[in-house]
Structure 1
Amino acid sequence: MRYAWKSWTPYLAWPVLALVLSLLLWGLLQVHLQDEEKRARGVALQEVALHARSYAGQLYRSLEALDQMTLYIKHGWESSPAEFRLERFGLEAGRGHEAAFYGTIVGRNGRLLTSTIPDPRDANVRTEPFFRVHAESPGGRGLFVGLATEGHFSGQHVIPFSRRLADPDGRFAGVVLLSAKPEYFMAGYDDVALGKYGFLGILGPDNETRLARVGDKVFLPEDRPLVGPVRVFSENSGSAVESGGWFSDGRARFVSWQRTAGYDMTIVAGLDRETALAGFVSYRRAAINNAIALTAAFMLLGIGGGIASRRLHTRKRELDRVRATYRTATESGADGFFIARPRVHAGGQSDFRIEDCNARAADMLGLRREELVGFHIGDLFHTRAAQQLTALLTTAHERGLYEEDLDTSQLGLRAKRWFHLRVVRPDGDLAVTMRDVTDARLHLQELERRGNEDVLTGLHNRHWANTYLPQAAEDCASHGLRLALLFIDLDGFKAVNDTMGHDAGDDMLRHVARRLRDAVRPRDPVARIGGDEFLVLLERIGGPAEAAAVAERALDAFRRPFRTIKGSRTIGASIGISMYPQDGGDAETLLAAADAAMYMAKTSGKNGYRFFDQRFSDAIRDRHRRELELVHAIEHDQFVVYYQPRVEVATGTTCSFEALVRWAHPTRGIVGPDEFIPLAEERDLIVELGELVLDKVCAQLAFWATTGQAVVPVSINVSGKHFRDSRILRVLKEAIDRHGVPPHLVELEITEASVIDGGEEVIHAMHALQKMGIALLVDDFGTGYSSLAQLQRLEFDVLKVDRAFTRELNRSNEGRVLFTAIITMAHALGMRVVAEGVESREQLQTLKALRCDEAQGFYISRPLPPSVSQPMFTHRV
């Protein structure tokens, strides 16, 4: 029993100490709170006493002023009662219904003689105390102060102040009456200092309440706001704390009173105890809460300390048992375990001592257990390995948990293995678990190799490039080095796949990979990042000249034919070069710059190399931006059609119009066709744009037809691409049917090149259009390579001569002869001739002399926006 008690003594000491500290804390807090409450009460009593003295002085001055005023009125009336009228007197404080007090003179019969009260009531006050006290006292009683009551003359609650009037014989002649409103005496109530429940009262010589105020409310005598014993106020001044029995509202207050000099009136001021002590109550609540929290903390500390002491003692006893069973539990496992204890040598250098280990751990390190236990890390390994392993264990000791894969070759072991170390610090020692992960590591490396290798060529792939390039750029940035990126795209490789098959193409790609590896430096990695796109990374180079030399060797590798399984074939390569850091500070920017430079090489004739040029790249981006704008414009119909008239040369009358499309750009305004038609042709947007124009022209023709006037045809320029698969037939027929336009009002203008390049498909489509009644025009004749036989076979309706021939009409005899030949030829084939670009009267006169059918140009009219009716012109020559 005695042993059990001793074993529990260390654990009980903590709770006992916590209890003692808690009791001491509460005792000190009790004393402190009593002192604070006493101080707060003293401050409240001083404050309320100050209010009582202040208001007593104020009341005395008010009574003295009223007393002097009654004497003044008394003297004035007694001197000349017939002439003294208060209505004309101008009593400043007695004017209006909102006056603080009124002045009145009452005759000996109790009737009002004169007063400052506006429209006073008719009343007799003979029975009122203030009248009787003067009427029944031959010598008078000086100033008499009555109780607050409803005034007979004013109808308002007032306090009467009166003096006796005497005639020249000294007989009672009436009363001087000053009626003061109760609020007049309560105006000095301090809302801020006294608060919502503060008290201010006026007591008469009999210590009965004449007037009082609590907060915003004024109490009259019949309200009995003060019900306490009057004997307390028999002394001239004093203070007290009362529990609430003195006041009708039952609230406890700090009370102070002060008797006025000369008038035997007493001022009682009260400060609400709850309001006055609110600060102390809040402070006391916070202090008690803090004390409760500290008590709880002490008790938790005591309980926690006891539990911790018990656990430490228990753990100490169990530690030996754990260590005894540790080796038995770990010897049969596949993992190695050992326990390391930190040691700090002289000079602050750290080391770790092996406290225990299992046989598996010793075997992994190529030692026996006896060669490990009891030795330090510095004794077991060479200097560099010891430093690395000590640093690892130090980091684990600081963090509490650490994991890392360790290469045994770094420890000086012969066999290259990988161990996964997991180090945990349960207390001051480190528990180290070693697991052989060599097989998993080798498998992971193989997966990583496969993930970064192109299956077809054996080169690195795009995934490798995306991973390696940022690391290479970061390494160059940290060491201030240069880097070059060669983006290689094969020229003509698509033709190999198309003509020789994909097997031959794959074989060629393998040959290309081998030649590129031979062409570059041994340390420069080569990657295949796309179908026929390759990447060469040049690290730690001197400058652009070195990158250019590698590019030259790469191009030389393509000058010999490639032998494939399907035969030999020669292809070229276009190489774009970007340099770090001038062309980009990160891998993504460098790759984009090399790609842009490769595009420059492609557009410069292929089979060469180009360095990145920012201006060319900006031009490409600007072109791409314009392409996107054009696509957006077609999708949202931002185009308008202008109409340029053609006139009969012989008569000068309008015979047709040419529809010319304009781009109503939202920011640039009207944009001419030269800026967007070539781009639309190149990007295969011309078909969609042409169909949009076809629909707009048909809609405009239908609108003009509604005006009732004769409508002439409108010719529309169409691209040769419209004739593929006879699409133009379907689109045009749908537009004509949708808007109800006669086919003969629609004409189509086609360039010579479109007809020749289109082949038989274009010819069949043209014949079908003519059967529909649609006239066909050869546009810009003379700029292509058509022949008379071709024109005869196509059977065009109208031939439009290019403006270049019109310009030469009056400049040389050869120009006139050539134009004459064109007109003669066209007329022989049954075609009308239109001269484009007519800009002067002389040209028009020459055309008339040459029997040209129609003319079109700025001299006739510039292209016009659509109008309400189709405009007609007459140009006489």
Structure 2
Amino acid sequence: MDGGTSFGDKRNRYVGWQFVEGYPVIAIAGLDQEEVLAPYWKSRQASIRNAAGTTLALLLFTFIAMALSVRLAWRKYQLDLVKATYRKATEGGSEGFYIARPIRNEAGEIMDFQAIDCNERGAAFFRLRRKEFIGQMTSSLYDQGVVQALRGMLTKAMETGRYEGELALPVDPRGHERFVQFKAVRSDGDLAVTLRDITHEKQHLRNLEQRSNEDLLTGLPNRSWVNTFLPDAVARAVSCNGMLAVLFIDLDGFKEVNDRLGHAAGDDILRNAGRRLKEAVRPHDNVARLGGDEFIVILEEIRQESDAAHVAERVLHAFKEIFRVRQGVASIGTSIGISIFPNDAKDAGALLQNADIAMYAVKTRGKHYYQFFNPAFYDALQSRMKRESDLRYAIENDQFIMYYQARLDMATGRTSSMEALVRWMHPSEGLIEPREFIPLAEETGLILELGELVIDKVCAQIGKWMRDGGPMVPVSINVSSRQFNEADIPKMLFDALAKHAIDASLVEVELTESAVMGNIEDVSDAINVIHGLGIKLLVDDFGTGYSSLSKLQRLDFDILKVDKSFTEQLGKGKHEQVFFSAIITMAHALGMRVVAEGVEKKEQLDILRELLCDEIQGFYISHPLAPTQAQSGLCQGLPKNMVAVQ
């Protein structure tokens, strides 16, 4: 009811009435509208407020979501831009990259990897374009061997977070090997893989390794290669319970040929020797050069010692044919020592050492054969090592004395010169002749120190004789081939002359033919310097080498000493006398005096006088003698009735 007209308080009311059955009464009830609707209006206001707040919150959330969406889109755009920029930046470089995503089975195990992004170079490593590579599975890229290796690397990177290594890829269409530096880093469940082609670096390293393991002269493997290969060969023999043989080969006569024909000829012979060895052994055997004139052959998969002996016999046969080089011909043999695994040694070092010892045993027994290792050879080796040690000590402590043998002038019958000959005064063995230690000194290189010592001792003795007074004759000093070619002989002579204050005319130098068979310019320069000091030069033991008189004359030698082997033949036949006469005639024509060595009989002296030989030397005239107070005490003359009439 409208409160404005019906009620004094002007408030609307809800009114209801009803007749009361059985009674003359009407029940009337009224409710104030404001009171009835107050909860509604209160609820309505709260709902409106909540709706407004919810709407505001929704609007705020929507705004934030839109902002985040825009930000994420921007970040994705930036990331895509960075990826695209990185791809473009790397296209011109040498590195390739791709993103690999692991493919797992229901148990979570990695079964494969899928490329989800890459640059062009990354795809090119797998011989694909970028569009073709993206989406590819690792298992479809190469053959099973490469796939397993690549998958293993990727799996390790997933497990550890990072992996680096090298991957060998199949040859490219041009037949070249290809090697890749592989680097994978885990990121957000994927792998960022970087690839770099290292084929050229690997090839360079391989070339360096090959050079370090290859003898540059012969092309054969060298000692470094042997030190790596032989232990592996022994390990293979152990694993299969097999036998292995090492043949240690030394070229007989090489040093003499090298001195006689020169180093260029020696190099040609070594190359030829390497080829002959390769042809003599079995196809699967290995030939290597240890250095100098030493080679080894490694025989794997032999059943018995005789297999090694058969190979050794083929090597000996291969060297029966003479060597022909530009400088001349040479006869070279081989001494071969054989060591067998496991009979003679259990490791590579001992195997090689025992083969060397066996080879040395062949050398001491006449060369040109082969010998299996025997423990008794150690005694011989120890004896040699002791002799070498004693010789080294003797040089350091000057245990040497000089003997002098006179050389007589056939025209006057008087001493024209004398040759200095070294002797070793051993503290326990007594006086040792040169033939007992000079070859060892040559072989070990001690001849260089010994030769310098001899030059100093001879010059010191000449100085002493000069101070003592009396007549003087020159003294000749022997200089070996190795000493002449490896030491500075002119400087040694100059220093010794200055140190002992002696005249250069009192010193002569004897060189063998082999000593001057090297580079003609180097030899000529050294000889010219010696001549410039005022020292005469003699050719010692002429006829035992391969030099010619004309070559010796070009080198400006003063005196020619004919080897005693020719003197020994005088009186035994006319041919020998004719040959000796021809030498004397040609030497005189070239301005050289001639000395006959090894004169031991009067008959030889008479023939030499008839041949107009200038000087003689030998036991018939004088044995080598120790120095006396005055040099004249060593000078002996011929009886007057034996002096040649000129």
User: Mapping of 1:360-371 within 5 angstroms?
Assistant: 360-371=121-132
2:260 — aligned with what?
499
Q: Deviations over 1:683-716 (max 9, x none)?
A: 46999xxxxxxxxxxxxxxxxxxxxxxxxxxxxx
Measure how far apart 1:477 and its partner are: 4.0
Q: Secondary structure at the match of 1:435?
A: strand
Aligned to 2:102: 342
1:331 corresponds to which of 71, 88, 91: 88
Asked if 2 retains the 8 angstrom alpha-carbon contact of 1:336 and 1:435, the reply is yes
- Name the SS for the 1:425 alignment partner: strand
Matched, 1:769 2:523: no
Match of 2:436 in 1: 682
**SS at the partner of 2:345?**
coil
Q: Which range moved further: 349-358 or 409-418?
A: 409-418
> Pairwise mapping of residues 373-772 of structure 1 onto structure 2 (< 5 A)?
373-409=134-170, 416-426=177-187, 428-621=189-382, 623-625=384-386, 627-628=388-389, 673-674=428-429, 682-683=436-437, 727=457, 759=617, 763=622, 766=625, 769=628, 771=630
User: SS of the residue aligned with 1:769?
Assistant: coil
Give the 3 Å change call, closer, same or farther, for CA 398–567 of structure 1 in structure 2: same
Q: Separation in 1 of the partners of 2:366 and 2:190?
A: 72
Cα distance change, pair 512–619 in 1 and its aligned pair in 2 (3 A): closer
Q: CA deviation at 1:530?
A: 1.5
Distance 2:295 2:435 in 1: 31
How far did residue 620 of structure 1 move? 1.2
C-alpha displacement of 1:631 = 5.4
- Alpha-carbon distance in structure 1 between the residues aligned to 2:192 and 2:348: 43
**Equivalent residues in 2 for 1:186-225, closer than 5 Å:** none
Unaligned runs of 5+ in 1: 7-313, 639-660, 664-672, 688-720, 738-754, 777-790, 795-877
Structure 1 pair 356–729 and aligned structure 2 pair: CA distance change class (3 A): closer
* Separation in structure 2 between the aligned mates of residue 769 and residue 523 of structure 1, nearest angstrom: 67
Whole-Å separation in 1 of the counterparts to 2:273 and 2:266? 10
| Deviation for aligned residue 1:571 | 1.4
Check the 8 A contact 1:385/1:412 in 2, yes or no.
no
Q: Secondary structure at 1:529's aligned position in 2?
A: strand
TM-aligned CA deviation for residue 633 of structure 1: 8.4
CA distance in 1, matches of 2:183, 2:342: 42
What do the CA deviations read for 1:381-415 (whole angstroms, capped 9, x no partner)?
44333222112222344454433332321799986
Match of 1:357 among 108, 111, 118: 118
Alpha-carbon displacement from aligned partner over 1:766-785 (angstroms, at most 9, x marks no partner): 496275798x9xxxxxxxxx
The alpha-carbon deviation at position 566 of structure 1 amounts to 2.9
Where 2:376 maps in the other structure, the secondary structure is helix
Q: Give yes or no for contact 2:334–2:368 (8 Å, CA) kept in 1.
A: yes
1:603 and 1:390 map into 2 onto residues whose CA distance is 62
Distance 1:426 1:554, change over 3 A: farther
Question: In 2, are the aligned partners of 1:677 and 1:686 still within 8 Å (CA)?
Answer: no
| CA distance in structure 1 between the aligned counterparts of 2:217 and 2:395, rounded to whole angstroms | 43
Identity of aligned residues (%): 41
Q: Could you tell me how far apart the structure 2 residues matched to 1:448 and 1:686 are?
A: 36
Q: CA deviation at 1:607?
A: 0.7
Whole-Å separation in 2 of the counterparts to 1:339 and 1:364? 14
State whether residues 113 and 138 of structure 2, in contact with CA within 8 Å, keep that contact through their aligned partners in structure 1. Answer: yes
Cα displacement string for residues 807-827 of structure 1 (whole angstroms, at most 9, x for unaligned residues): xxxxxxxxxxxxxxxxxxxxx
Which residue is 2:27 aligned to? none
Conserved 8 A contact 1:344-1:351: yes
Pair 594,323 (structure 1): closer, same or farther in 2 beyond 3 Å: farther
Return the alpha-carbon distance in structure 2 between the equivalents of residues 630 and 726 of structure 1: 18
Q: Using CA pairs under 8 Å that are at least 6 residues apart, name the structure with larger relative contact order, 1 or 2.
A: 2
- The one-letter code matched in structure 2 to 1:338 is Y
The answer to whether the 8 A contact 1:574-1:602 is kept is yes
Q: Structure 1 residues 459 and 2 mapped into 2: Cα distance closer, same or farther (>3 Å)? A: farther
Task: Give the conservation status (yes or no) of the 8 Å contact 2:247–2:336.
Answer: yes
Asked if structure 2 preserves the Cα contact closer than 8 Å seen for 1:424 and 1:430, the reply is yes
What do residues 408-451 of structure 1 show as CA deviations (whole Å, max 9, x unaligned)?
21799986433222223356432211122333333433343334
- Report the AA paired with residue 358 of structure 1: N
Distance 1:610 1:764 in 2: 41
* Aligned counterparts of 1:330 and 1:442: Cα–Cα separation in 2: 28
Deviation of 1:494 (Å): 1.9
CA contact (8 A) 1:327 1:357 kept: no
Determine the C-alpha separation between the residues in 2 that align with 1:448 and 1:362.
32
Separation in structure 2 between the aligned mates of residue 316 and residue 465 of structure 1, nearest angstrom: 65
- Give distance in 2, aligned partners of 1:573 and 1:552: 10
Q: How much has 1:553 moved relative to structure 2?
A: 0.9
- Cα deviation, 1:505-556, whole Å, max 9, x if unaligned, reads 2222222122111111122222222222222222233232222211111111
Alpha-carbon distance in structure 2 between the residues aligned to 1:502 and 1:678: 33
Equivalenced residue count is 395
The 3-state SS of whatever aligns with 2:214 is coil
The unaligned stretches of length 5 or more in structure 2 are 1-55, 62-70, 400-424, 442-450, 468-597, 601-615, 640-646
TM-score after normalising by structure 2: 0.50
1:239-290 per-residue CA deviation (whole Å, 9 max, x = no partner) reads xxxxxxxxxxxxxxxxxxxxxxxxxxxxxxxxxxxxxxxxxxxxxxxxxxxx
Q: Distance in 1 between matches of 2:75 and 2:240?
A: 56
Kept after mapping to 2: 8 A contact 1:382/1:412: no
Distance, in Å, in 2 between the alignment partners of 1:425 and 1:583 is 56
Counterpart residue type for residue 337 of structure 1: F
Residues 410, 548 of structure 1: CA spacing in aligned structure 2 closer, same or farther, 3 A cutoff?
same
Alignment of 1:142-291 (within 5 A): none
1:699-753 CA distances to partner (integer Å, 9 max, x unpaired)? xxxxxxxxxxxxxxxxxxxxxx9x9779579569979x9xxxxxxxxxxxxxxxx
Report the alpha carbon displacement of residue 599 of structure 1 after superposing the two structures with TM. 0.9
Distance of aligned partners of 1:514 and 1:420 in 2 relative to their CA distance in 1, 3 Å threshold: same
Number of the residue aligned with 2:643: none
CA distance 1:410–1:763, change in 2 (3 Å):
same
Query: 2: CA distance between counterparts of 1:583 and 1:684?
Result: 33
The Cα shift of 1:355 comes to 2.9
- Aligned AA (1:341): R
Alpha-carbon distance between aligned partners in 2 of 1:355 and 1:435, rounded to the nearest angstrom: 19
Contact 1:420 1:435 in 2 (8 A): yes
CA RMSD of aligned residues (A): 5.0
Give the conservation status (yes or no) of the 8 Å contact 2:126–2:141: no
Tell me which moved more, 318-327 or 410-419.
410-419
- Taking the aligned partners of 2:224 and 2:273, their CA distance within structure 1 comes to 20
Tell me the TM-score normalized by structure 1.
0.38
**2: distance between equivalents of 1:572 and 1:415?**
43
Cα contact 2:599–2:618 (8 A) shared by 1: no
Q: Show the 5 A alignment for 1:84-123.
A: none
Cα pair 2:146 2:169 within 8 Å, conserved:
no
> What secondary structure sits across from 2:320 in the alignment?
coil
Q: Is the CA contact 1:385–1:410 (under 8 Å) kept in the aligned structure 2?
A: no
